[in-house]
Structure 1
Amino acid sequence: MNRDADAAQQVVVGIDGSDTALAAARWAGEYAASTSSALVLLHAVAGLNWHFLTEAAAPQPTEGTDDAVLGPVEAAVRAAHPDLDVRSVTVRESVGGALRDASQRARLLVVGSGTDEDILGSHVVRITHRAECPVLVWRTAVARRTGKPLPVVVGIDESEDSRRALTAAFETARALHAPLQVVHMWELAPAVGLGYSQGLMDWQLLDLLQTQQRRRMDELVAPLAKEYGTTHVTEVFQDISPAKGLRDLSREAQLIVVGSHGSGRIATSTLGSVSQNVLSRAECPVLVVR
């Protein structure tokens, strides 16, 4: 396998010494093992501006577990997955810049949501917006496990970005051995006109819209369901915004998947406009796909 192909199979985790980053690395280790990927633990140490130095003089990435921040994390991941290809890398670069650069060569970037006190936690939104691969923002899911895998939930509209999110959701659900819940949310007033707000409803139009949305969802989902063979359900939720609907579903999910941009024919079904809302307020990990 050539170097570029090998890099495309890397899962990169940002490590800052926090408990959240350790938990994110544990999740990433499980995912990497399930997808036959290498795991890269990346610790960025901001320092002097090295741009005035020659290339030969500039500090280069170092590998190994001598770093006191990376060592315990690598040990924990290796204990859980002895056969996993784990690499620890320390770079002298800003956190945002290091993770953005790493995202150019990764299949998935994983960061802990953390808090503003954590080095990575204060950079999550910026990292997610600048990354060039899907980003998994890890946080502890509030849903109680009952012995069965919690579902992966993906919100879709009719955009190309949403199609990519749907594909990533099927891939992720398969890797996690989890059922997939495909959902589409829309608000009635923009869909059926001013009559709704005045207490009037064109029920025939409403039924037609619901039928059309269900058909479009089925057309998107059917080919992927056949390809991945993942257990799934599709649902249309009416009179609820995508942001609120996905936040509500996050309480019973192990992962929410959203697209980073995109807009559907119904203006309020714009996943790009809610991705940041879901990213900051969901009650489980969030995968943002671009």
Structure 2
Amino acid sequence: MEGTTAGPELGTVIVGVDGSEPAREAALWAADEAARRGRTLHIVHAADTDTRAAYASVETIERARAAGRELLRDTAAAVNGLHPDLHVTTEFSRGAPVPALHGAAGIHGTVVVGSRGLGGFTALMLGSVGLTAAASATTAFVVVRGSDPEAERGSVLVGVRDEHDLDCVRYAACEAELRKASLRLLHVWNLLQSVGNVVSMLDDVEEISGQHAQRLSVMADLIREEFPDLTVRVDVEKSYSVAGVLAEASQHADLLVVGGRRSPGYIGRSLGRVTHSLLHHARCPVLLVPRHGNDHGSAS
């Protein structure tokens, strides 16, 4: 892989478009990401016309298909105007958006969507199709949220819960290296998760905080060994809102990386409370790295 010396493989970038402005912004962000990686950008439009065929007219279906193919051509042209050397491919799918995006990603691709869509049957709307795609992702998944282009950033922020997030931190390190940015590891210790022990813990808050910092420092040292040219910063904060601290910190980051986890107590695939909140309130693009195993009932 070009641009990195260690860490996971960063593969093809797949972006879903539906004609909305957030999806167009996501396509341009995805093009920048693919260019940084030296990888192909694959643009997907899933019209879901197979589902509608049972009750929509033939003319309606054909118009939807023609509009989708035109959207793909226009998006590819816009991307090539900014990155003339970027290899761009397109895919029109008659199926639903979620399986189309995950199918295109394979085992190493990164799926990118906008923060909301048009609504209706072609939507990539966070809260419906977008959230379903994020919750069911088995590869890296990015939600491109609006950010202030004038903001001073230059760092990649990664939310770290415990030692099982090492793969997520490695992914964030790769992203930081590609951007020639620094890496910030941030652990937020939530007292409410230990509500039954709070009274007995109050006198030991600083000691426990120091233990969290020590574990985070060990992880940071591993990353420094693998990425010797990368500047790595470690922070531990105490708060009653993990998502609130991470969202606030994200206003100073180019990218927020978190480990995607399944929320406990639910049937099927769902996102944890912290992840769900960040996808709605982060101040920069959010990259979810699926965490396989060792979840221990996390609600993050």
For the structure 1 residues 259 and 66, does the alpha-carbon distance in structure 2 shift closer, same or farther, using more than 3 Å as the test? Answer: closer
| Equivalent in the alignment of 2:214 | 215
Tell me the secondary structure at the aligned position of residue 202 of structure 2.
Answer: coil
| Equivalent in the alignment of 1:179 | 182
Spell out, residue by residue over 1:86-122, the C-alpha distance to the aligned partner (whole angstroms, 9 max, x if none): 1011111111221122232442110111256371124
> Which one is further off, 34-43 or 114-123?
114-123
Identity of aligned residues (%): 29
The letter of the residue matching 2:208 is L
> Which one is further off, 133-142 or 107-116?
107-116
Structure 2 CA distance, aligned partners of 1:83 and 1:40? 14
Tell me the secondary structure at the aligned position of residue 69 of structure 2.
Answer: coil
1:35: Cα distance to partner?
1.0
| Equivalent in the alignment of 2:169 | 166
Counterpart check, 1:151 vs 2:158: no
Spell out, residue by residue over 1:172-229, the C-alpha distance to the aligned partner (whole angstroms, 9 max, x if none): 1112222221100113463793427xxx931xx2232122111110111212122223
Pick aligned residue for 2:86 from 76, 79, 84: 84
Structure 2 CA distance, aligned partners of 1:133 and 1:116? 25
For the aligned residue pairs, the C-alpha RMSD in angstroms reads 2.9
Unaligned runs of 5+ in 2: 1-8, 53-66, 264-270, 291-300
- Preserved contact between residue 163 and residue 215 of structure 2 (Cα < 8 Å): no
1:245: Cα distance to partner?
0.9
For the structure 1 residues 115 and 278, does the alpha-carbon distance in structure 2 shift closer, same or farther, using more than 3 Å as the test? Answer: same
Aligned pair count reads 257
Counterpart check, 1:93 vs 2:95: yes
The letter of the residue matching 1:24 is A
| Equivalent in the alignment of 2:146 | 140
Structure 2 CA distance, aligned partners of 1:254 and 1:75? 26
> Which one is further off, 207-216 or 254-263?
254-263
- Preserved contact between residue 163 and residue 219 of structure 2 (Cα < 8 Å): no
| Equivalent in the alignment of 1:224 | 223
* TM-score w.r.t. length of structure 1: 0.79
Pick aligned residue for 1:71 from 61, 70, 73: 73
1:253: Cα distance to partner?
2.1
| Equivalent in the alignment of 1:235 | 235
Structure 2 CA distance, aligned partners of 1:180 and 1:90? 37
| Equivalent in the alignment of 1:277 | 277
Structure 2 CA distance, aligned partners of 1:78 and 1:115? 23
* TM-score w.r.t. length of structure 2: 0.77
The letter of the residue matching 2:171 is A
Trace 1:106-117 onto structure 2 (pairs within 5 A).
Answer: 106-115=108-117, 117=119
Structure 1 CA distance, aligned partners of 2:223 and 2:180? 16
1:133: Cα distance to partner?
0.5
Pick aligned residue for 2:37 from 35, 47, 65: 35
Structure 1 CA distance, aligned partners of 2:196 and 2:213? 16
Structure 1 CA distance, aligned partners of 2:77 and 2:250? 31
The letter of the residue matching 2:13 is V
Unaligned runs of 5+ in 1: 1-6, 51-64, 264-270
